[in-house]
């Protein structure tokens, strides 16, 4: 057996089945059915207790109520009713954006609820079983599940091995193996056992299972405002207060200038709503919900919005080599004999020692000997009287004793020690071949033989772990984003260095222990960097808890999943790169729309202020650069544009601004150029077009 059998996630790279329809809603942003379904929720969100959570939109709601009262006191004032109608539509559009974002999550939650069934559990009480409702299970209970049973709760397999159908959770139709004593012991309540018998230790309380948390997440029930979102809300509230004070002071100035008729309470309310950052205030919540939704669409469960934001600010990525950077299943590439031994002799011994090795590496050695050296594929049963020597962590070797010969295959040091114990000699070039293969990024396995001529080393098997296609390009992109990549591996430094150079990572940590991982994370964090990493074993739990973004594999242990702040349902370690991109896209989208919203206010200022005071101060008419037809038309056009721009930006808020790997400086310049300049120009065009249409209405223009 090889010296290092990789743990490979069942869904990591090689397709094992096909994705079922899990009911996930794609990016169909203006699906009429979804809009109609979300409309009642949008109306319900008009309640003041809900609206007060968004200070900007709460001010718009208060303004809508005020203008409604004023319009009711003067029923014949068409201008008052028009302003009132569009202010209510502004509030409704903001709520509709959030409701649509939440509605997409609820569609996913409905599918998850189908997987949540009331089951009867077979709880172990000493040597006996008792049938109890799944809701009666408590942490620490042991339950038995056999083929056809629904697993009643989240837990770890403590006895046995079984094939489990997790399609209700992951959408993957191919079953996965769950077994005790390893990093694939965790099982999820609601999944189905397809074969064999397992004993599960319950690790969660009823109502706190994995599916329960997923449902709460996608419905938004568990979503809390993130630190950046709270900070932006404070900024928007501050701007709102500043503009409120500015608008209030306009009334005394208007009275003094004799322009009181142009500054009615309805006009001042319209001015306030147009000047405060209503666009980002309306879309802020939808942006956050959509960011979480994009993660769920990729089968990632984030325990908090803080983790998603942290992913966007990550400076260092820690990535396991096996199964992440490389394919994981090392394959025999070459038999390299020592001087005095033929390649055919080495191939024969290597194949013989691998007949009982069922690992991918062992199978590849048998196949290479057959295909390259013409040796027929033998089987264990053909060797009468053979005594097989299994691989153990202590000996780090495996092999067979048959027909007076002893063949061993394994780690270099172990095989050399075995030869010397038997008084044999080690060829001078054995270590040289070993080092050469290690430096090339391969894994060397020495093969030795003891027969009538004594014990001796025959040569080296070269195992190669192939770097995944496209990984170097991905790391180049990450480097352009300013993210440092560190490969973590248990390999020796020579092998680690070769793989790191081939893959293009910035640094590597060889022969890594859990303590080494923790020390590296703390060292990076001490330098002010945010760190992300993946893991699946109990020994990864401390590092996952320490990392700012800890992504646990769904195949991993419960300890790993509890320690991390994200869980990848597909157990694909490379998804960490996608998670970082989604986090950055969330932050970029929020920043871009904030820039657009604030830039909008400048144009609306040029539309309304000249219209309000041009009569009292004719010189202000020079600021009427859009040449709007009348004061009322100018104010109404600005209010209409203010409402419609929210609807126009909903798709962008839900889909996200397209992410491109680039430095922070370039990204800032791009956002200012596209969304800052766009936010300045768009209102001038939009308000002018609306003004032209309004002026065509008889009795208004």
Are 690 and 637 spatial neighbours (Cβ–Cβ below 8 Å)? Answer: yes
Cα gap 103→220, rounded to integer Å: 10
From residue 518, how far is each of 273, 483, 544 by CA, in Å?
A: 51, 19, 9
Are 483 and 476 spatial neighbours (Cβ–Cβ below 8 Å)? Answer: no
Are 49 and 201 spatial neighbours (Cβ–Cβ below 8 Å)? Answer: no
Q: Is 409 annotated as a binding residue?
A: yes
**106: Cα separation from own chain's centroid:** 19
Q: Is 30 annotated as a binding residue?
A: no
Task: For residue 467, give the DSSP letter.
Answer: B
Are 356 and 414 spatial neighbours (Cβ–Cβ below 8 Å)? Answer: no
Token pair in block for residue 525: 């964090």
Q: Give 274's Cβ-side CA count (13 Å radius).
A: 28
Q: Is 108 annotated as a binding residue?
A: no
Are 611 and 285 spatial neighbours (Cβ–Cβ below 8 Å)? Answer: no
- The catalytic residues are 320
Q: Is 397 annotated as a binding residue?
A: yes
- Please say whether the dihedral angle defined by the alpha carbons of residues 567, 570, 574 and 575, taken in this order, is positive or negative: negative
Q: Residue 56: which of 592, 594, 591, 587 has the closest Cα?
A: 594
Q: Is 396 annotated as a binding residue?
A: yes
| Exposed / middle / buried, residue 145 (Cβ in 10 Å: 0-12, 13-18, 19+) | buried
**458: Cα separation from own chain's centroid:** 48
Q: Give 454's Cβ-side CA count (13 Å radius).
A: 10
Give the gyration radius of the chain's Cα atoms.
Answer: 33
Q: Is 395 annotated as a binding residue?
A: yes
From residue 689, how far is each of 441, 628, 640 by CA, in Å?
A: 65, 10, 11
Cα gap 497→262, rounded to integer Å: 75
Question: Three-state DSSP class for 388?
Answer: strand
Cα gap 189→200, rounded to integer Å: 11
Residues in the chain: 701
- Phi–psi pair at 249, nearest 5 degrees: -75, -15
Q: Residue 223: which of 141, 347, 320, 106 has the closest Cα?
A: 106
Q: Is 113 annotated as a binding residue?
A: no
Residue 35 parent element (H or E): helix 32-44
Cα gap 267→313, rounded to integer Å: 43
Q: Looking up tokens 């599960």, which residue turns up? A: 200
Helices (H), 258-392: 265-275, 278-297, 305-312, 343-353, 360-373
Q: Is 533 annotated as a binding residue?
A: no
Angle, vertex CA 543, rays to CA 303 and CA 536, nearest 5: 70
Token pair in block for residue 237: 């509230």
Cα gap 338→448, rounded to integer Å: 11
Q: Is 326 annotated as a binding residue?
A: no
Q: Is 394 annotated as a binding residue?
A: yes
Q: Is 79 annotated as a binding residue?
A: no
From residue 357, how far is each of 285, 387, 398, 434 by CA, in Å?
A: 55, 13, 8, 21
Q: Cβ of 685: how many Cβ atoms within 10 Å? A: 12
Cα gap 303→229, rounded to integer Å: 17
Which residues define the annotated binding site?
357, 361, 391-398, 409, 536, 540
């Amino acid at each position: 057996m090889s010296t290092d059998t990789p743990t490979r996630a069942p869904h990591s790279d090689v397709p094992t089945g096909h994705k079922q329809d899990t009911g996930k809603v794609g990016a169909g942003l203006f699906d009429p059915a979804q809009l109609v379904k979300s409309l009642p929720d949008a109306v319900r969100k008009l309640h003041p207790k809900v609206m007060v959570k968004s200070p900007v939109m709460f001010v718009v709601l208060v303004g809508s109520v005020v203008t409604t009262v004023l319009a009711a006191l003067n029923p014949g004032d068409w201008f008052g009713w028009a302003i009132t109608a569009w202010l209510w539509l502004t509030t409704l559009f903001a709520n509709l954006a959030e409701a649509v974002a939440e509605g997409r999550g609820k569609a996913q939650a409905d599918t998850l609820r189908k997987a949540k069934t009331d089951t009867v559990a077979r709880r172990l009480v000493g040597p006996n079983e008792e049938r109890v409702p799944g809701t009666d299970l408590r942490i620490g209970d042991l339950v038995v599940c056999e083929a056809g049973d629904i697993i009643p709760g989240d837990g770890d397999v403590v006895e046995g091995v079984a094939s489990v159908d997790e399609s209700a959770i992951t959408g993957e139709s191919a079953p996965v193996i769950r077994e005790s004593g390893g990093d694939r012991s965790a099982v999820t309540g609601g999944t189905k056992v397809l074969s064999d018998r397992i004993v599960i230790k319950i690790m969660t309380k009823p109502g706190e299972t994995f599916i329960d948390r997923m449902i709460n997440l996608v419905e938004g029930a568990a979503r809390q405002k993130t630190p950046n979102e709270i900070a932006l809300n404070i900024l928007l509230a501050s701007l709102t207060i500043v503009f409120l004070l500015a608008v209030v002071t306009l009334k005394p100035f208007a009275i003094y200038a004799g322009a009181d008729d142009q500054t009615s309470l309805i006009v001042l309310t319209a001015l306030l709503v147009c000047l405060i950052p209503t666009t980002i205030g309306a879309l802020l919540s939808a942006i956050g919900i959509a960011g979480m939704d994009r993660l769920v669409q990729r089968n990632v469960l984030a325990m908090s919005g803080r983790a998603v934001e942290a992913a966007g600010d990550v400076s260092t990525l820690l990535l396991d080599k096996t199964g992440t950077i490389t394919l994981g299943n090392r394959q025999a590439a070459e038999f390299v004999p020592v001087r005095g031994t033929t390649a055919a002799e080495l191939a024969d011994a290597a194949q013989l020692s691998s007949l009982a090795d069922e690992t991918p590496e062992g199978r590849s050695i048998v196949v290479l000997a057959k295909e390259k050296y013409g040796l027929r594929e033998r089987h264990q049963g053909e060797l009468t009287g053979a005594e097989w020597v299994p691989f153990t962590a202590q000996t780090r070797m495996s092999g067979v004793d048959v027909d007076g010969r002893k063949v061993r295959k394994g780690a270099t040091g172990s095989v050399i020690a075995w030869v010397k114990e038997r008084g044999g000699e080690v060829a001078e070039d054995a270590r040289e071949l070993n080092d050469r293969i290690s430096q090339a990024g391969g894994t060397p396995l020495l093969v030795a033989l003891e027969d009538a001529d004594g014990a001796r080393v025959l040569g080296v098997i070269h195992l190669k772990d192939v770097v995944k296609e496209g990984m170097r390009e991905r790391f180049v992109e990450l480097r352009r984003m300013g993210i440092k990549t560190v490969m973590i591996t248990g390999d020796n430094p020579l092998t680690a260095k070769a793989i790191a150079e081939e893959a293009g990572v910035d640094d590597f940590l060889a022969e890594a222990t859990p303590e080494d991982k923790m020390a590296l994370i703390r060292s990076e964090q001490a330098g002010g960097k945010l760190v992300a990493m993946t893991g699946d074993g109990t020994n990864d739990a401390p590092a996952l808890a320490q990392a700012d973004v800890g992504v646990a594999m769904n195949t991993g242990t419960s300890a790993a999943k509890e320690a991390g702040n994200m869980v990848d349902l597909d157990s694909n370690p490379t998804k960490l790169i996608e998670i970082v991109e989604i986090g950055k896209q969330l932050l970029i989208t929020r920043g871009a729309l904030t820039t657009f919203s604030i830039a909008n206010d400048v144009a609306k200022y040029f539309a309304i202020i000249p219209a309000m005071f041009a009569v009292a101060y004719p010189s202000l008419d020079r600021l009427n650069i859009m040449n709007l037809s009348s004061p009322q038309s100018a104010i109404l056009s600005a209010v209409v544009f203010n409402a419609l721009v929210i609807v126009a930006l909903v798709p962008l808020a839900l889909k996200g601004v397209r992410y491109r790997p680039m430095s922070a400086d370039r990204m800032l310049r791009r956002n200012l150029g596209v969304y800052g300049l766009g936010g300045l120009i768009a209102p001038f065009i939009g308000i002018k077009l609306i003004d032209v249409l309004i002026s065509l209405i008889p009795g208004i223009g």
